[in-house]
Structure 1
Amino acid sequence: MEARIPPKQAASHKQLVELTILYQFSNTMLSTIRLNKLTHLILTALTSDSTRLFERAMLFLRNEKSGVLQGMLGVTRDTAGGLKVVGGKDALSSRWDIDDDAILHQRESAFSKHVRATRIEASAACTIIRRVIHEHRLYALGEDDCPVCESCDFVRRLGIAAFAVAPLIARDKALGIIVVDNPSSNKEIGHDDLHFLQLIANQAGMAVENSMLYNRIEEAHSNLRDARERLVHGERLAAIGEMAANLAHELKNPLITIGGFAGRLVKGLPGTSREHHYAETIVKEIGRLERMLADILAFSRKPTICYSACDAGDILMDCFAGCATTLEDHCVSLATSFEDGPWPILGDAHQLKQVFLNLMLNACEAMPDGGSLHVTLKKVSLDKKCILVSIQDSGGGMPADMLPKIFTPFFTTKPHGTGLGLAIVNRILQNHGGRIEARNEGRGAVFTVTLPQVETQ
């Protein structure tokens, strides 16, 4: 014969269990500031075997601008097994935790994927969801009430019958909703369950907002750090550029004088004499130094861009004609892959030609024993419509540790040169709203240029 627990004692025991859960939940909400882990802890606490509150729980967060409710996570009794008690020995100091494996298991479950694929549009949300958001209060629907929600996509998608919806409120704003149900047992969601859900949702709302605010502060701090680094980098480059420009101006006049006299010697000396050879070497080296000074002066000046409508394919064809002799001298074969044009861009055709010529000539220098150069031109859709040009050589590639530095001013891997060629290329593309990336692929290096596409009339 079973011993019967007196009703008063049973009620006290139930109240103790509920208070224990609330204490542990409260401590848990204070244990992490990471939104991803927080959502897993909230929904696991609502569905795990240790609390046995509900069989399924879903969390949707609201986009403040659009009002769309985006599914973030769904947890069932079967996937809520990773909850464990940590901390103190009593309820006042203990809390729940969940490990990374359990988080991954929950996130990759079929039910959670269904929830994450669900968006509840503000205009298409059923009456109950709209009332939860606007009235900031919990609602529950029995199975007989659910025809009211049949037009709601998430009800059909997730196979929901009787359910309850609680708002996540913080500072009088609805951040999202928690949806719970009991599809396996069809257990009714009673008044006590709703009261408990409301208490948990209230604490969860504040914890979610704190996490969101923390993420915004982290993002703002990261943006400020990046801006400071760019400012310091810009100031350093400005100082280097000013110094280099002054130095270049001081060197330019004597170099012109030396080059002029050396040129006269070349013309006046017998072609077979040793002195003629020496004078030719001086003229050649003076020419190289003048080109280096021209690069330094070009980098130190603020560029003027003459924007006009142009075609990336036409610019590349001009570049092929301009470097044809160099390609032939280096025994480099040229292959092209152009998608159907046109390829309309807005920019300075002269500067963009300088970009592609620089990249092609660099590729030739990387293949002193000959090789192949493959140029691809196509349209792509990234965050917007773009024109993509890739220039690939077979010159053996670059050391991996040097790849992040190659667009840094004055960095060079060549025994000669200023290290400004790719820095100037990078700046031209940034001024055009584009970007350049470099990577090793196959037997060589690939430089990929992306430029915004403009609409043709």
Structure 2
Amino acid sequence: MKDRLIRILRQLDSYMGRYPVYLYLIDAEYRLLWSNQFLEEKLPHFDGSRPFCYQALWNREHPCDDCLLVQDLERQKVIKNVLQRSLQPEQDDRYLEFLTLPIFEGQDQPRGYLRIGVDITQSEKERLALQTQERLFASIIDSSADAIIFLDNNDRVLEWNRGAEDLFGYSAEEMIGQSILKIIPQELMEIGELYYIRKELQTRGYLKKYETQRLKKDGELIYVDITSTRILDSEGHPIGRSEIIKDITSRKELEFELRRTVLELSKLNELNELLYRTYEPREIFENILIAITSGEGLRFNRAIILLRDKKTNMLKGYLGVGPSDEEEAQAIWAELQDHYRSLQEVVSIYREKMGQREYQVHRIVQQLQVPIEKKKHLLVRALESRQVYQVQEGEVISGHLYDIHINGRSLMDILGTDSFVVVPLFSKQEGLGVIIADNCITNRDIASEDIESLKVFAHQASLAIENARLYQSLQDRIRELQDAYQRLEENQQKLLRAERLAALGEMAAKVAHEIRNPLVSIGGFANLITRRAPENTDIRKFAVIIKEQVLNLENILNNILNISRPPRSDKKLIDVNRIIHQVASVMGGAIEHRGIRLALNLNCFSGKVYGDEKLLYHALLNLFKNAIEAFEDLDRPGNITVQTHCDNNNVMIEVCDNGRGIDPAILEKIFQPFFTTKSSGTGLGLSIVKQIVESHGGEVVVDSRPGEGSCFRLVFPNRRQAPEESSEMGN
């Protein structure tokens, strides 16, 4: 096997020429059996007279220490390793990556190894340089006097340097894997600072020299300067952010208050944008309440809207948002703070949860009903005076005495808190309602800044409500105009149909004489042939058919001329199966020419239809023609099936095809005179069918599906004998 393998390798080497690949073969004792031309030329110490690979290739007296074969690692598997070797004097070492393939010859242990190597010096140097840079970067971060922190997308700490340990008092072991919320004061969380930072990073990619407060391990609040940058992966997706934090505790508190004001204004602007994203009244009210109670909004624990009901002249509770107890509140706040969310996302989450909980606030809303005539009631006073009223510890701060009872219970008792604020909602013309907001869970004092923010927001909410009402009124007006336009369009279509009917009548009257003269001649010659041709001959049979069709053509002409009035009927008991056979015989040529298969399943043998045979023939002829035309431009086989059924009450004829079908949008219009989707034709065929069937006391039922076909069912009364008076054959 060794000799055969060497021959193969030599042949391969002759093909490869000077391709830059180091290739050599050794046995299990490291004896060099063969090496390629490129290796022998490139290795400066190559000596083919020396038996072992480490001697011939690397000029060493003992096996190489970095050889995995010498280390007896995975000798029976394909292995890969990198060797650092000096190929040229006074030059840097080169890095050669070798792939070692074991050679077996029926034994469990390999008989030798084929090694294939390439020069990876450039990539290896780059890798080593990158490792050096990473170590240097890590050293710089760790030795920085500033706190340098790396966070993931969920605000969990990934890196916490020595500067962060010194500044906050937490060790890296205590903070890595923990939420950054651990060092953010609760007050700043409530005003939405973390939301602001995330928003800045999302829109700009970085946050530079942001001054705020942070919480040390011992509870001390310090002022800090934060520079944060969003970190992206190789595909441009955010994977976290870095923060460089400097201690600026010496700065004055006034600077932070100014920044807080800017945040509040920015937040109010976003709240206003939220209000004008919809024109649905209930959705607007939901947005108002959620914006008032969310941490990204005005931060109240609970809010309730009461609206003015003009029909009952009452101020009624309409909608409320807020947790029932502290446990529910903590669950809601924890869910919202777990991940970054915009105010719009918070609104969506709240709306999904509304109705699933907050049962307590719903019961409160149902109890809040005050007659408008109670002018001294606090809620009515706020509505009509358009003033804000604050109740603190059960007392109205304005100093006036107002009624605060509903059905004998105090408003504080119903709400379950003695401190709240009442803000009016109003348009230019009238009061719309009031908002009640409180902090029934945290019992946090309602500051004057909170009231001012709520007052400004309530004014914007009032405008949004009025805007929605105007929009709804405009939509109603638009619908009225659309309905009027639709009726006008329908009347125009009726007028056009009437004009077409008049034109057709005028045209038919002019050509009737020209058409009837040839028909008379054709009919006369057909009669003559019928009398002179021998019995039971094809000539006589065809002449009879011509004579009958001439009569049918005359009848069709009369129907067109008399489309605006009921046709006269020559009534008798009719065998529908016989008429179907006649129509099938007449249309057989057209059906066969189109390659359509006709199936007749005539199962009505005892039923009879009392009516005009010529009219029924005409109706069936039109249905056959429609069925044939349903296969125009279709490349699949066509089938037309005609069936008859009868019972004690009815006789039913079905003409079905598997053609293109009828669009549901026009299905109701197909029986209207002159309605057609074809480039040719008068649009009278199905209208005449419907008129004929109904004149026989029957009805037409259509079942059609686009792409599958159509089925027309003619249902007639089953007559055992001709009635004495045919009143049912009326107009």
Instruction: Using structure 1 for the length normalisation, give the TM-score.
Output: 0.52
Change (3 A) 1:180 1:13: same
Of residues 348, 351, 369, the one that matches 2:643 is 369
CA distance in 2, matches of 1:50, 1:394: 68
Pairs within 5 Å for 1:39-438:
39-51=285-297, 53-59=299-305, 62=308, 71=318, 74=321, 78=332, 81=336, 96-98=343-345, 101-102=348-349, 104-107=351-354, 109-111=356-358, 127-139=377-389, 148-150=405-407, 160-162=415-417, 163-187=420-444, 189=446, 193-221=450-478, 223-225=480-482, 227-228=484-485, 230-232=487-489, 234-251=491-508, 255=512, 274-288=542-556, 291=559, 297=564, 368-369=642-643, 402-408=663-669, 410-411=675-676, 418=684, 421=687
Confirm or deny: 8 A CA contact 2:291 2:347 kept in the other structure.
no
What secondary structure sits across from 1:168 in the alignment?
A: strand
- Cα distance in 2 for residues equivalent to 1:226 and 1:74: 40
2:175 maps to what in 1?
Answer: none
Shift in CA distance, 33/100, structure 1 to aligned 2, threshold 3 Å:
closer
Q: CA distance change for structure 1 residues 247 and 49 in 2, over 3 Å: closer, same or farther?
A: same
Partner of 1:356: none
Q: Deviation at 1:21?
A: 2.2
Cα displacement (A) at 1:22: 3.8
Please give the secondary structure, in 2, of the residue aligned with 1:369: strand
The residue number in structure 1 matching 2:279 is 35
Question: Deviation at 1:205?
Answer: 0.7
The CA deviation at 1:168 is 1.7
Structure showing greater relative contact order (alpha-carbon pairs closer than 8 Å, 6 or more residues apart): 1
On the 8 A contact 2:298/2:453 being kept in 1, the answer is: no
- What is the deviation of 1:397? 11
CA contact (8 A) 1:48 1:81 kept: no
Change (3 A) 1:22 1:67: farther
- The equivalent of 1:453 in structure 2 is none
Which stretch of structure 1 is more off in the superposition, 17-26 or 41-50? Answer: 17-26
Corresponding residue for residue 171 of structure 2: none
Supply the distance in 1 between the matched residues of 2:655 and 2:544 (Cα, whole angstroms). 39
Structure holding more helix per residue = 1
Secondary structure (helix, strand or coil) at the match of 2:260 reads helix
Check 1:123–1:251 CA distance in 2 against 1; reply closer, same or farther (3 A cut): farther
Q: 1:177 to 1:259 in 2, by over 3 A?
A: farther
- In the other structure, the counterpart of 1:17 is 260
- In the TM superposition, what is the alpha-carbon distance from 1:214 to its structure 2 partner? 3.4
Contact 1:132 1:138 in 2 (8 A): yes
The alignment covers a number of residue pairs equal to 347
Q: Compared with structure 1, are the counterparts of its residues 208 and 4 closer, same or farther at alpha carbon in structure 2 (3 Å cutoff)?
A: same
* Alignment partners' CA distance in 2, 1:75 and 1:419: 67
1:81 deviates by 4.0
- Secondary structure of the structure 1 residue equivalent to 2:300: coil
Contact persistence 1:371–1:394 (CA under 8 A): no
Determine the C-alpha separation between the residues in 1 that align with 2:551 and 2:369.
73
Q: Is the Cα contact below 8 Å between 1:61 and 1:175 reproduced in 2?
A: yes
Shift in alpha-carbon separation, 1:177–1:288, aligned structure 2, 3 A: farther
> Post-superposition shift, 1:403?
0.7
Give TM-score, length-normalised by structure 2: 0.35
> Bigger radius of gyration, 1 or 2?
2
- Asked if the contact 1:132/1:165 (under 8 Å) is kept, the reply is yes
Quote the Cα distance in structure 1 between the aligned partners of 2:322 and 2:440: 13
User: Does 101-110 or 265-274 show the bigger shift?
Assistant: 265-274
User: What's the CA shift string for 1:247-288, capped at 9, x where partnerless?
Assistant: 234315755996799699599776966444323223334445
Q: Distance in 2 between matches of 1:400 and 1:115?
A: 54
Quick one: distance in 2 between partners of 1:11 and 1:30? 29
Contact 1:54–1:182 (Cα < 8 Å) also in 2: yes
Distance of aligned partners of 1:242 and 1:50 in 2 relative to their CA distance in 1, 3 Å threshold: same
1:97 offset after TM fit, Å?
Answer: 3.6
Query: 1:215: Cα distance to partner?
Result: 4.1
CA distance in 2, matches of 1:75, 1:173: 28
How big is the shift at 1:114?
Answer: 8.0
The 1:186/1:257 distance shift into structure 2, 3 A limit, reads farther
Paired residues of 1:61 and 1:176 also in contact (CA < 8 A): yes
Is contact 2:306–2:317 with CA below 8 Å preserved after alignment? yes
CA deviations 1:14-68 (Å, max 9, x no partner) are 6753563244323542463423464444323211123453112344555666667
CA separation of 1:326 and 1:55: change in aligned 2, threshold 3 A: farther
Question: What is the CA-CA distance between 1:201 and the residue it aligns to?
Answer: 0.6
Deviations along 1:197-222, whole A, 9 cap, x unmatched?
22221121112222332343355345
- Whether the 8 Å contact between 2:307 and 2:317 is mirrored in structure 1 is yes
Partner Cα separation in structure 2 for residue 180 and residue 108 of structure 1: 19
Q: Tell me which amino acid in the other structure corresponds to 1:403.
A: P
Q: CA deviation at 1:171?
A: 1.1
Give the direction of change, closer, same or farther, for the CA distance of 1:193–1:246 in structure 2 (3 Å limit). Answer: same
Where do 5+ consecutive residues of structure 2 fail to align? 1-218, 224-248, 324-328, 396-402, 532-539, 566-573, 581-600, 605-622, 628-639, 648-653, 692-702, 712-731
Distance of 1:406 and 1:66 partners within structure 2: 48
Find the aligned partners of 2:348 and 2:387 in 1 and give their Cα distance.
Answer: 35
Percent of matched pairs sharing the same residue? 17
What's the Cα RMSD here? 6.2
